[in-house]
């Protein structure tokens, strides 16, 4: 007698093999069998016409703090994710010296746009070492399995003190040894890797660049040597890929003998640079190194609404004059006062943000009912205004004021230089890439791309109109087996007997994203953007049902990966 039988499903097993109709049996935490006539079970699900996939594996999130207050790790758990890895991009909360928490919070606030007040309230900092942080994470069960990586910035600050926050400072030889020893200790305790940031986009709240920005070769290689000694872990890097950059990272990968995973995305300043990085990745793989590029499946989208971190009028004096009001009061003032609206539209403050917003009008889109994350450039705020011979700022304002002031604009920030997702399709098709730009838990007032697992399937296999689609089996593999293997997780990502029973049962015909929205559900009532989905009939983690008809069941079978 099996514990669970999912009967008559269209099985897409995570290997990329063609979909087939089969039954799936689960005993305890494991998949027992896949096939026909598998015998009786205590619970049966008739999955005729439904899709069954492995649970999704999202290796790029930032739930370092959220994991301590939110066992559901939303939005990810609303999107079929059953395993997540955080501690990415070099920022996180351990190791930490007594009294140093405020710096790590300000760094996280600056780099990942998570409100400092939320972190100060929600993160207890009852640890000092990384192993102690892992123990704190492991103390409460979650809705999915989760793993943490050692953030380079925290390691640097812990060992070098204030000098560690200054990227121009180099650690002494002794300090490099100390960092390596701490990293090795953390890896033995169960850290899944080391993450670092080398992008000028990442700045602390005070504007200083992220500490690891220009860490030089002796430091990188010292950390790499520690990874070799530990014999485990992945090196994750977010880099701008200036000249010589990949070579330095490749050297670290060679010294460590460990996998290297770098972010791969298209930036408007250099829309072809990602191809150079990809060529480096391929060359490294040809030389036997395990290197992957983490890609997204849609434009990295900055969401702008009256309640988000930024919007086209957020530095306008008329807007700032309303800052004492609640969000609802502000919206109703704007809706009811034509004179304020006129000033917002006609008076342009002379500041950097307004100039930037002005430049971005051709990349700004109203998030209306038809919005599908692959908008035609002719539908941008600038283009629509030109076609209607109207003021683009008026159009932007009416987008924000839609739905009683809850309207959103999306600015296609990255991966959209040519105004289509063909470039993303090319990235997805590349054998050296895995899914990894969702950033769940981060940028909570500006971005909500942690819903990407749902978008990947719905848009690319079914809904895409402005170009070729991709096979469903390929897309499932991309965010199951491929992402699991990149982190050495061999017990999941494929529906096969003996593997963990991490399973999604999806009504694929109905699978869709709901519009993003602003919620005030962080500690202290902090604000974040969330996005839900429809079509997840069941999600199972280690054989326990965590989601039923798109709603959490309350089961928390997820454990710390060590």
Q: State the residues that interact with Zn ion by CB under 5 A.
A: 88-89, 439
Closer by beta carbon to Zn ion, 88 or else 479: 88
In the complex, the smallest distance separating the C-beta of residue 108 from Zn ion, rounded to whole angstroms, is 11
d(CA 459, CA 512): 9
CB of 196 to Zn ion, least distance (A): 11
Query: Cβ 21 to Zn ion, closest distance in Å?
Result: 39
Q: For residues 523 and 532, what is the distance between their CA atoms, to the nearest angstrom?
A: 20
Q: Shortest distance, CB of residue 441 to Zn ion, whole angstroms?
A: 9
Distance CA 549, CA 510 (A): 11
Q: Which of residues 88 and 411 has its CB atom nearest to Zn ion in the complex?
A: 88
Which is closer to Zn ion, CB of 88 or CB of 452? 88
Instruction: Give min distance, CB of 88 to Zn ion, in A.
Output: 4
Minimum CB separation of residue 147 from Zn ion in Å reads 15
Contact between 396 and 409 (Cβ < 8 Å): yes
CA dist., res. 452 & res. 55, Å (int):
14
Tell me the closest approach of the beta carbon of residue 85 to Zn ion, in angstroms. Answer: 11
Smallest distance, Zn ion to C-beta of residue 437, A: 8
327-336 vs 338-346: helix axis angle to the nearest 10? 90
Would you say 10 or 196 has its CB closer to Zn ion?
196
Phi, psi of 167 (to 5 degrees): -65, -20
In this structure, what are the phi and psi dihedrals at residue 426, rounded to the nearest 5 degrees?
A: -60, -40
Through-space distance between the first and last CA atoms of the chain, rounded to whole angstroms: 32
The kind and range of the H/E element at 309 are none
- Identify any residues that bridge with 539 across adjacent strands, giving them in sequence order: 504, 547
Residue recorded with tokens 């990502």: 493
* Shortest separation between residue 265's beta carbon and Zn ion, angstroms: 11
CA distance 431 to 17: 16
Phi and psi based region of residue 554 (left: phi greater than 0; alpha: psi -120 to 50; beta: remaining): left
Q: Which residue, 14 or 92, is less far from Zn ion as judged by CB?
A: 92
CB of 202 vs Zn ion, minimal distance in Å: 9
User: Shortest gap between Cβ of 62 and Zn ion (angstroms)?
Assistant: 6
Place of tokens 């011979």: 389
**Rounded Cα–Cα distance for residues 458 and 434 (Å):** 18
CB-closest chain residue to Zn ion = 89
- Which C-beta is closer to Zn ion: that of 250 or that of 443? 443
Identify the H or E element spanning 255.
helix 245-256
CB atoms under 10 Å from CB of 551, counted, come to 10
Nearer Cβ to Zn ion, position 88 or 100?
88
Q: Which of 265, 403, 279, 401 is closest to 340 using CA atoms?
A: 401
Strands 30-35 and 20-27: antiparallel
Q: What are the residue ranges of helices labelled H in 315-444?
A: 317-320, 327-336, 338-346, 352-360, 381-388, 392-405, 422-429
Q: Which residue number, 110 or 171, has a Cβ lying nearer to Zn ion?
A: 110
Q: How far apart are CA 173 and CA 190, in angstroms?
A: 26
Tokens representing residue 253 in the block = 């990968």
- The DSSP bridge partners found for residue 505 are 52, 538
Q: How far is CA 118 from the centre of its chain?
A: 19
Q: Are 54 and 493 in contact (CB under 8 A)?
A: yes
Q: State which residue, 60 or 538, has the beta carbon closest to Zn ion.
A: 60
What's the rounded Cα separation, in Å, for the pair 144 and 79?
11
Q: How far is the CB of 299 from Zn ion (least distance, A)?
A: 16
- Closest to Zn ion by CB, 54 vs 296, is 296
Of 526, 363, 359, the residue nearest 441 (C-alpha) = 526
Nearer to Zn ion by Cβ, of 13 and 112: the residue is 112
Q: Tell me whether residue 58 or residue 175 sits nearer to Zn ion (CB atom).
A: 58
């Amino acid at each position: 007698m099996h514990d669970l039988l999912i009967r008559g499903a269209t099985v897409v097993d995570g290997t990329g093999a063609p979909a087939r109709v089969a039954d799936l049996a689960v005993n305890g935490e494991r998949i027992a069998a896949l096939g026909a006539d598998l015998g009786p079970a205590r619970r049966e699900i008739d999955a005729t016409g439904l899709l069954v996939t492995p649970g999704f594996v999202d290796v790029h999130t930032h739930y370092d703090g959220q994991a301590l207050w939110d066992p559901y790790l939303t939005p990810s758990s609303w999107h079929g994710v059953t395993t997540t890895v955080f501690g990415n991009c070099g920022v996180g909360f351990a190791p930490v010296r007594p009294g140093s928490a405020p710096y790590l919070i300000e760094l996280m606030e600056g780099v990942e746009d998570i409100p400092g007040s939320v972190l100060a309230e929600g993160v207890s900092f009852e640890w000092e070492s990384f192993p102690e942080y892992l123990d704190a994470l492991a103390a409460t069960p979650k809705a999915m399995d989760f793993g943490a990586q050692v953030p380079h910035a925290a390691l640097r600050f812990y060992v070098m003190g204030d000098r560690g926050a200054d990227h121009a400072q180099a650690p002494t030889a002794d300090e490099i040894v100390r960092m390596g020893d701490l990293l090795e200790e953390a890896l033995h305790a169960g850290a899944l890797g080391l993450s670092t940031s080398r992008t000028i986009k990442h700045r602390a709240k005070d504007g200083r660049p992220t500490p690891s920005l220009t860490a030089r070769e002796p430091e990188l290689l010292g950390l790499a040597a520690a990874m070799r000694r530990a014999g485990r872990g992945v090196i994750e890097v977010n880099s701008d890929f200036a000249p010589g950059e990949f070579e330095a990272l490749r050297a670290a990968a060679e010294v460590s003998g460990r996998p290297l995973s770098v972010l791969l995305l298209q930036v408007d300043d250099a829309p072809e640079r990602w191809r150079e990085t990809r060529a480096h990745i391929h060359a490294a793989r040809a030389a036997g190194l395990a290197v992957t590029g983490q890609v997204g499946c849609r434009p990295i989208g900055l969401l702008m609404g009256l309640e988000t971190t930024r919007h086209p009028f957020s530095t306008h004096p008329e807007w700032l004059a309303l800052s004492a009001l609640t969000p609802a009061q502000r919206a109703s003032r704007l809706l009811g006062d034509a004179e304020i609206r006129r000033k917002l539209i006609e008076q342009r403050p002379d500041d950097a943000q307004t100039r930037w917003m002005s430049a971005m009008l051709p990349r700004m889109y109203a998030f209306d009912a038809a919005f599908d994350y692959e908008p035609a450039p002719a539908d941008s705020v600038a283009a629509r205004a030109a076609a209607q011979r109207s003021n683009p700022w008026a159009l932007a304002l009416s987008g924000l004021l839609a739905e009683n002031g809850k309207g959103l604009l999306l600015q296609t920030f990255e991966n959209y230089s040519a105004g289509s997702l063909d470039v993303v399709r090319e990235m997805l098709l590349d054998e050296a890439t895995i899914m990894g730009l969702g950033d769940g838990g981060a940028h909570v007032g500006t971005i909500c791309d942690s819903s990407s697992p749902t978008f990947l399937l719905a848009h690319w296999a079914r809904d895409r109109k402005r170009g070729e689609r991709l096979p469903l089996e390929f897309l499932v593999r991309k965010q199951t087996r491929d992402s699991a293997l990149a982190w050495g997780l061999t017990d999941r990502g494929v529906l096969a007997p003996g593997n963990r029973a991490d399973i999604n049962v999806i009504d694929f015909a109905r699978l869709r994203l709901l519009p993003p929205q602003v919620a005030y559900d962080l500690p202290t009532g902090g604000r974040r953007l969330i996005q839900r989905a429809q079509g997840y009939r069941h999600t199972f983690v280690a054989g326990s049902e965590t989601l039923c008809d798109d709603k959490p069941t309350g089961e928390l079978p997820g454990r710390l990966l060590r």
